Amino acid sequence: MSASQHDEQAQDVGLLFLRVSGGLFLLWVHGLPKLLDFNAQLQQIEDPFHLGAHLTLCLAIFAEVLCPLLIVAGVLARLACLPILFVLLVALLVVHPQWSVAEGQFGWLLLILFATVFIAGPGRLALNVRLPGVLRYA
């Protein structure tokens, strides 16, 4: 195996690790609690765009449950990053603008992680490689 093949394999394994660990982390810490305790979350969720608590919570669940699952699988990973990035930016810049970097560090780290997946793509160890045409790169 040449050095360049080894580098490519290492990049693919690194992207796989980033996708799986980040996706499962977001799902476990934010998504599942919202999904499993929907009624309590309705009382707590911020509604910065005045869409109503129910719609806002459903959109957050979409971004924090379905999108991480797509990213973990490597299916439409770049597209799945967009709702997550939007929710994170809204949380950090609109809902909690008073947070210091230290207070919002978890959100900023998630933003960095999912922006990296968006930029780099899912790698070759993803189900995207089986999709035809443009979908392969989405």
Segment 35-81, tens digit of pLDDT: 999 999 999 999 999 999 999 999 999 999 999 999 999 999 999 99
pLDDT level of residue 132 (50, 70, 90 thresholds) = confident
Which helix (H) or strand (E) segment holds residue 126: the answer is none
Can you tell me which residue has the tokens 């991480």?
A: 68
| Predicted model pTM | 0.92
Give mean pLDDT, residues 14-22: 97
Cα angle value 67/107/51 (rounded, 5°): 60
* Contact assessment for residue 63 and residue 86, using Cβ atoms and an 8 Å cutoff: yes
